[in-house]
Amino acid sequence: MSSIHQEKLLEVQGLQTYFFTDEGTSKAVDGIDFTVYRGETLGLVGESGCGKSMTSLSIMQLLNRPGKTVGGRILFKNEDLLTKSEEQMRRIRGKEISMIFQEPMTSLNPVYTVGEQVAEVFRLHENLGRKEAWAKAVELLRVVGIPSPEERSRQEPFQLSGGMRQRVMIAMAMACQPDLLIADEPTTALDVTVQSQILDLMKELQQRMGMSIILITHDLGVVAETCDRVAVLYAGQIVEYAYADSIFEHPKHPYTQGLLQSLPSIDQDQDELQAIPGTVPSPYDLPTGCRFAPRCAYRKEICSSQKPELLTTDHGEQVRCWMYSAEWQNTDATCKHNISPLGRSALA
């Protein structure tokens, strides 16, 4: 999207969010670090259950029991959100950090008109009177591409299409010009054409307002179109963190490589797509060493017995995989495949 300014807006450090249930402890988010700079778009990518939504709900502090953030810091404009009271968080949500979700019907109130719901944001956060708030709501609905906004604003959510409802959600999220927008699978429920219209709208609004975006998606195609940098999540941890272009050209982690191979391309038959074998491990019972080891074709003994750390490259990119460590050459192969490590030269 827009160029990256080097001012840090959000720094997530060592974030741990666990669920304490009768079955045990589910380590949904288990030590995640990333930075969002002003004006940039960071993609959070990974298969279902890897912790994308729990990371964003932790930032917003909207976790429901039995979920709890048990470790780390969430520095927003240099202040730790984990130390804020609920009252302080309420003022931050919507005004400084906004969030949009996959299914707008769960966030929109079915019994109020969409105009009233957008106007309510202005009334709450900007103390505007009823008339003024309504006028601003109609104007904003026009900005997000709702046709005939004067009429549409008098309609209830169910009278609008999925794409139009998502535009209303974007209008509500943008009303107070937040510094950060967290969009959790904002286009997954929409068809491809509407999907790209919504992404274009987000880009346009970002350029106009200079905000930062965290875009959560399982779709690497969406990332390619929209993000400056990408954090690939697996089983509650970041396994690769890099510039979007670089991830597409030289994916380093075997999991990222697998995700890319399962991405449909124009000249590829749907049947030829290679899904990653196996499934994501249970967050109640994570593998001892590398969490991807049970599914990895490059696996060696060290992978199953010892946890790989995140290694940082010359360019500040990161990968969590033994293959890029000095130890790798000296370890015995336990897998049958004879594959040489990829992209080692790019690493420090």
Q: Which residues bind ligand ATP (CB under 6 A)?
A: 19, 21, 26, 28, 46, 48-54, 66-67, 218, 283
| Residue 290 CB, nearest approach to ligand ATP (Å) | 18
**And the tokens for 88?**
């302080």
Q: Which of ligand SF4, Mg ion, ligand ATP, none interacts with 157 (beta carbon under 5 to 8 A by kind)?
A: none
Does residue 53 bind Mg ion (CB under 5 A)?
yes
Query: Which residue has the closest beta carbon to Mg ion?
Result: 53
303 contacts which partner out of ligand SF4, Mg ion, ligand ATP, none, CB within 5 to 8 A by kind? ligand SF4
Which of Mg ion, ligand SF4, ligand ATP, none does 290 bind, CB closer than 5 to 8 A by kind? ligand SF4
Cβ pair 182, 42 in contact under 8 A? no
Of all helices (H) and strands (E), which one includes residue 119? Answer: helix 114-126
Q: Which is nearer to ligand SF4, 201 or 230 (CB)?
A: 230
Report d(CA 240, CA 252) in Å as an integer. 7
Nearer to Mg ion, 52 or 252 (CB): 52
Least gap, CB of 9 to Mg ion (angstroms): 22
259 binds, among Mg ion, ligand SF4, ligand ATP, none (CB under 5 to 8 A by kind): none
Please say which residue, 34 or 292, places its beta carbon nearer to ligand SF4.
Answer: 292
Nearest approach in angstroms of CB 341 to Mg ion is 32
Give the footprint of ligand SF4 on this chain (CB under 6 A): 254, 290, 292-293, 296, 298-299, 303, 308, 321-323
With CB cut-offs between 5 and 8 Å by kind, which of ligand SF4, Mg ion, ligand ATP, none does residue 283 bind? ligand ATP
Judged by DSSP in three states, 241 sits in: strand
Contact 205/229 with Cβ under 8 angstroms?
Answer: no
DSSP 1: -
To ligand ATP, the closest distance from the beta carbon of 230 in angstroms equals 14
CB of 52 vs Mg ion, minimal distance in Å: 5
DSSP conformation letters of 183-204: EESTTTTS-HHHHHHHHHHHHH
Q: Considering only residues 91-120, where is the footprint of Mg ion by CB under 5 A?
A: none
Q: In what order do the strands lie in the sheet with 67-76?
A: 24-37, 8-21, 67-76, 79-80
Instruction: Kindly tell me which of 101 and 322 has the beta carbon lying closer to ligand SF4.
Output: 322
Write out 34-61 in H/E/C secondary structure.
Answer: EEEECCCEEEEECCCCCCHHHHHHHHHC
What's the closest the beta carbon of residue 186 comes to ligand ATP, in angstroms? 12
Closer to ligand ATP by Cβ: residue 238 or 347:
238
Beta-sheet strands, E only, within 188-309? 212-217, 229-234, 237-243
Binds 308: which of Mg ion, ligand ATP, ligand SF4, none (CB < 5-8 Å by kind): ligand SF4
Give 139-146 contacts, CB < 8 A, sequence gap 24+: 140/171, 140/174, 140/175, 141/114, 141/115, 141/167, 141/168, 141/171, 143/171, 143/205, 144/168, 144/170, 144/171, 144/174, 144/201, 144/205, 145/197, 145/201, 146/171
Does position 56 interact with Mg ion (CB under 5 A)? The reply is no
For ligand SF4, give the closer residue by CB, 213 or 303: 303
Contact 13, 33 (CB under 8 A): yes
The residues facing 180 across adjacent strands are 97, 212
Question: How far apart, in whole angstroms, are the C-alpha atoms of residue 3 and residue 22?
Answer: 47
Least Cβ distance, residue 248 to ligand SF4 (angstroms): 19
For ligand ATP, the closer of residues 40 and 185 by Cβ is 185
Measure the CA–CA gap between 25 and 15, rounded to whole angstroms. Answer: 16
**Nearer Cβ to ligand ATP, position 48 or 127?**
48
Angle subtended at Cα 115 by Cα 110 and Cα 120, rounded to the nearest 5 degrees: 85
Rank residues 52 and 291 by Cβ distance to Mg ion and give the closer one.
Answer: 52
Residues in contact with Mg ion by CB under 5 A are 52-53
